[in-house]
Amino acid sequence: MNQRLLSLDTFRGLTVAAMILVNNPGDWGHVYAPLLHAHWNGCTPTDLIFPFFLFIVGVSIAFAIDASKNEQLFSKTVGKIVYRGFVLIGLGLFLSLYPKFDLANFRISGVLQRIGLVYIICAIVFLKTTTKTQIYVAFSLLVVYYLLLHWVPVPGIGYANLQPETNLGAWLDRTLLGNHLYKATKVWDPEGLLGTIPATATGLLGVLTGQLLRSKYTESEKVAWLFLAGSTLIVSGLVTNEFFPINKSLWSSSYVLYAAGWAAVGLAACYWLIDVQGYRRWTRPFVVFGVNAITVFFMSGIIPRTLGLIKIANADGSSVNLQLWLYKKAIAPLFGQNLYLASLAGALTFLAIWLFILGWMYDKKIIIKV
């Protein structure tokens, strides 16, 4: 029987709200360092957001999917899993295409595409294997990925390496995806194909966490195990960092361990506060984001691009898109020369607008499921 944890919805909402915040500053030229990704190796708070979401996808699998061994039910469940995964991939591809629909150069990889792939793989592994096997699979993926990046010579380069443009994953992306890569990097993709291997491990660690939360342990035991597991993963990530640096763009094995550790600790804290201790009054702003997570992520990508199509003429004859015009006219002047604070205020304003919309949807019981 499916359960629903308020703490899980809250933690998902916190994660999605953070994702919207960092993706929509008022001015990309003035963003506080913690709200930016690490340039290459290293980890900022922003770098934890995407793996947190994948981890939560894994936790949700354990709550939402019936792991019945009935073959007829299994076939139907797999069909639903594959359908949902491809809907997520399709939404991601639409985001990549919109608004230019340039089929020759649009980006194939992306956040929703990775979520869709990881969801399909993790859900099927959950259905077909035991908890012990899932542990083996998750850590085998991390070892295999380490070996691939450290020992397989890169064609055209001649040696294995972890540099942005010359690592094995970058070569594979260029070979298979051609011009369909992330525009900011052009020759490699931070959500590339090879990185799906360790990203799947992130999802499986979430699946294992979900099964722990659904187990017959007492609430106190669940909290203790979650904190212990999370702390162990964080330390393991820091140790692994010594020979495989924590790196979001590579989705390195150390990054998987480190980020999943913090996700487990964060979820444990939410579970203890909300579901065990009953401190629930503060959760509503995050729950409204959590129950419509994919909807708000998708639309928060569509709306700025749509506003970008609308041009406003300046007095000097130049033009600026509507989104930037609104920011410069309505928000930036309130903060004088403090451009970083103004940029943050722009992101918070965008977030507040979504809070109002999602709060109305929540009250009307409008939940759009993908």
Q: How confident is the model at residue 108 (pLDDT cuts 50, 70, 90)?
A: very high
Alpha helices in the chain (DSSP H): 6-23, 49-64, 71-97, 111-128, 131-151, 168-177, 196-213, 219-240, 253-270, 284-290, 293-309, 322-326, 339-363
Q: What is the DSSP letter of 153?
A: P
Mean pLDDT for 320-342 is 93
Q: What percentage of the chain exceeds 90 in pLDDT?
A: 91
Q: What mean pLDDT value characterizes the chain?
A: 94
Query: Please, which pLDDT band fits residue 2 given cuts at 50, 70 and 90?
Result: very low
In the numeric block, the tokens 């940029």 are attached to: 343
Query: What pLDDT is recorded for position 9?
Result: 96
Inter-axis angle of helices 196-213 and 111-128, to 10 degrees?
Answer: 50
Nearest-CA neighbor of 64 among 119, 138, 133?
A: 119
Per the CB < 8 A criterion, the answer to whether 74 and 135 are in contact is no
Residue whose token pair is 């894994």: 58
pLDDT at 68 over 90: no
The pLDDT of residue 316 is: 80
What share of the chain in percent tops pLDDT 70?
98
Q: How far apart are CA 73 and CA 81, in angstroms?
A: 12
At 75 the pLDDT is 82
Residue that has been written with the tokens 């990508």 in this structure:
301
3-state secondary structure of 325: helix
Among residues 84, 250, 247, 113, the alpha carbon closest in space to that of 180 is found at 113
- Rounded CA separation 108/59 (Å): 26
For residue 72, the model assigns a pLDDT of: 67
Greater confidence, 38 or 318? Answer: 38
Residue 366 DSSP one-character state? -
Which has the higher per-residue pLDDT, 66 or 228?
Answer: 228
* Banded pLDDT at 113 (limits 50, 70, 90): very high
pLDDT at 186: 87
pLDDT in tens, 281-310: 999 999 999 999 999 999 999 999 999 999
Q: Is the pLDDT of residue 256 over 80?
A: yes
Q: Are 203 and 58 within 8 A, CB to CB?
A: yes
**What pLDDT does residue 76 have?**
85
pLDDT digits (tens, 9 = 90+) for 116-166: 999 999 999 999 999 999 999 999 999 999 999 999 999 999 999 999 999
Q: Whole-angstrom Cα distance, residue 239 to residue 97?
A: 40
- Looking at residue 370, what is its pLDDT? 82
Residues 173 and 164: their CA atoms lie apart, in Å, by 12
Q: With bands split at pLDDT 50, 70 and 90, how would you rate the model's confidence at 369? A: confident
Residue 184 has pLDDT above 50, yes or no: yes
pLDDT of res. 331: 95
DSSP states along 18-72: HHHHHH--S-TTS--GGGS--SSSS--GGGGHHHHHHHHHHHHHHHHS-----HH
pLDDT for 74 equals: 77
